[in-house]
Structure 1
């Protein structure tokens, strides 16, 4: 299986900068490299763009992500995205009716702090793509992969929930 990973930053990738005393979104793929090193039956193309917290993303950034999806040579796409505005980017891609299997994922806690959530969400997205699923725009978070319009971040409890 061939999969393009579009890494846009977000909490998934954040690391602590001891000089500045804050979490930052780096412009590398260290978090992803740890996960994909264990995937021996997948040919990955990793594209690192934007490298921002999703709260800092602009409409221009979202269009860059859309263009990366459109022009990817692969049909299977995983987009690592910040959880705060993933709904905006996924809605834009969904609106463009791109004939590919696109799965957004991310994490509420940086992988550099706790590897479990980010690894689970990514692995779930990858497993979903290896199944016989229709083209569409999906989100993989907290134990489910569903149509991206049906998974909503509940800020009060810090979880993604399926909305009917």
Structure 2
């Protein structure tokens, strides 16, 4: 079987912001969302892979609203790729997942995020991102999934357990 020169061919990455992309702003003395998604760019550089990276919204997911979700769905619909990885904040990725499931039923979409910014400790963000990529590469069925903490499940079968600080199967 011939090897692909770029294993991510056919996958687009949309970055909406979230904790995954937060960086420390020494002037303000706080974490802020990096609008350029340097974390995702760094991952792709280290993996020596290329994929279209589209930076949209640039917010913590708690600040996202329905207009942002409409923009997200519109952006997915306009992409030629059928497989989409969305870097998204963890607090409302289920809401975006539900919106995308209604408006982009023919796509395979995986949302991934992080509880700890990549810029502070890249391990969790990298693991979640890698799980999402692996899922997209190994599966072809359309749907909306969330990749967090070793799980990749349909968006409505996974939930953020705020007491444990991880994502778990939804009861």
- TM-score normalised according to structure 1 size: 0.95
The answer for the alignment partner of 1:53 in structure 2 is 60
CA distance in 2, matches of 1:111, 1:97: 28
1:76 is matched with 83
Q: Which of 99, 107, 122 is equivalent to 2:106?
A: 99
Runs (4+) of structure 1 exceeding 4 A deviation are none
Give the structure 1 partner of residue 47 of structure 2: 39
* Structure 1 position 100, deviation (Å): 1.1
Tell me which of 106, 114, 117 is aligned to 2:124: 117
CA separation in 1, counterparts of 2:97 and 2:139? Answer: 21
What are the ranges of 5 or more consecutive residues in structure 2 without an aligned counterpart? 1-8
Alignment partner of 2:95: what SS? helix
Give the corresponding residue for 1:27.
35
How many corresponding residue pairs?
Answer: 163
Shift of the 148–122 alpha-carbon distance from structure 1 to 2, 3 Å rule, reads same
Q: Secondary structure at the match of 1:156?
A: coil
Match of 1:8 in 2: 16
Task: Give the TM-score normalised by the residue count of structure 2.
Answer: 0.91
Cα distance between partner residues in 1 of 2:163 and 2:139: 35
Deviation at 1:107, TM superposition (A): 0.2
How many Å separate the matches in 1 of 2:68 and 2:142? 23
